[in-house]
């Protein structure tokens, strides 16, 4: 029986790269998406072209009842979840003086509460004692902070804290949880950064390039592997060496 990976925000960018990387290793793949049905269908077709089965489910991660439905539907389709990757996230950047409560709540509820709910429901709906690898996709902003991103930084710090706390709580159950913390990666979410600024940033990285979605996908696949079975409660920067954890 094939293993089953569930990736939130799996229709584009980092999430899509993760989905395709796991499909290449013969995982059945469930992805979630928020709005872009066309992108989800395209990713679904690409995943299925690798001779595995795939499922795309629309979700509002801010609603805990909907996260439960997603987990139940995924398990009904492919069986227990072996790897849960909390990749979905939103940004609403601006100075704190002008940041609205709505933008604060949207980022915190989507990025933090959504991931918390996905973990909670996966553990409850999976068979008891089923091995599970959990991976939170966080950000260098959740390690070093960044101006005009206080809500986003708080959400990513929270996800890293979740990893530290749940690593201790879930480890005795045979469940590992870790975070992959990308540096600036060339995706839709970073399209606001000009090519000139991307080059300037790349010049500050010891490896002299930006991260790729494949770099992040490879790190996730390693953390899901048997070789990573003793790695737990860690935040792993994948950023070319610009800073540590």
**Contact 30/78 with Cβ under 8 angstroms?**
yes
Pairing between β-strand 132-137 and β-strand 4-7 as defined by DSSP bridges? unpaired
Specify the 3-state DSSP secondary structure of 85: strand
Listed residue (73, 66, 68, 109) closest to 88, CA to CA? 109
**Tokens representing residue 204 in the block:** 């500050």
**Tokens representing residue 84 in the block:** 């849960």
Q: Give me the active site residues, please.
A: 152
How far apart are the C-alpha atoms of 213 and 18, rounded to whole Å?
A: 8
CA angle 111, 85, 144 (to 5 degrees): 50
**Contact 217/21 with Cβ under 8 angstroms?**
yes
**Contact 56/47 with Cβ under 8 angstroms?**
no
| Distance spanning both ends of the chain, measured CA to CA | 37
- DSSP code of residue 172: G
How far apart are the C-alpha atoms of 167 and 59, rounded to whole Å?
A: 26
């Amino acid at each position: 029986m094939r293993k089953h990976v569930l990736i939130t925000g799996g229709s584009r960018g980092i999430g899509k790269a993760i989905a395709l990387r796991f499909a290449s290793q013969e995982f059945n793949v469930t992805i979630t998406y928020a709005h872009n049905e066309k992108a989800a269908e395209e990713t679904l077709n690409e995943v299925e072209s690798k001779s595995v089965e795939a499922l795309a489910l629309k979700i509002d991660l801010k609603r805990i009842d909907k996260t439960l439905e997603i987990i139940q539907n995924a398990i009904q389709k492919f069986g227990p979840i072996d790897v849960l990757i909390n990749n979905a996230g939103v940004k609403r950047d601006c100075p704190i003086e002008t940041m609205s409560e709505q933008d604060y709540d949207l980022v915190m509820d989507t990025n933090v509460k959504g991931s918390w709910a996905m973990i909670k429901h996966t553990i409850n709906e999976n068979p008891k004692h089923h091995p599970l690898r959990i991976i939170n996709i966080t950000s260098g902003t959740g390690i070093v902070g960044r101006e005009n991103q206080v809500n986003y930084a708080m959400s990513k710090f929270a996800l890293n804290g979740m990893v530290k706390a749940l690593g201790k709580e879930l480890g005795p159950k045979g469940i590992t949880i870790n975070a992959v913390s990308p540096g600036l990666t060339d995706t839709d979410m970073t399209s606001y950064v000009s090519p000139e600024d991307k080059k300037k940033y790349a010049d500050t990285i010891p490896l002299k390039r930006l991260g790729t979605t494949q770099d992040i996908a490879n790190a996730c696949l390693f953390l899901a592997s048997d070789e990573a079975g003793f790695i737990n409660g860690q935040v792993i920067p994948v950023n070319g060496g610009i800073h540590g954890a």
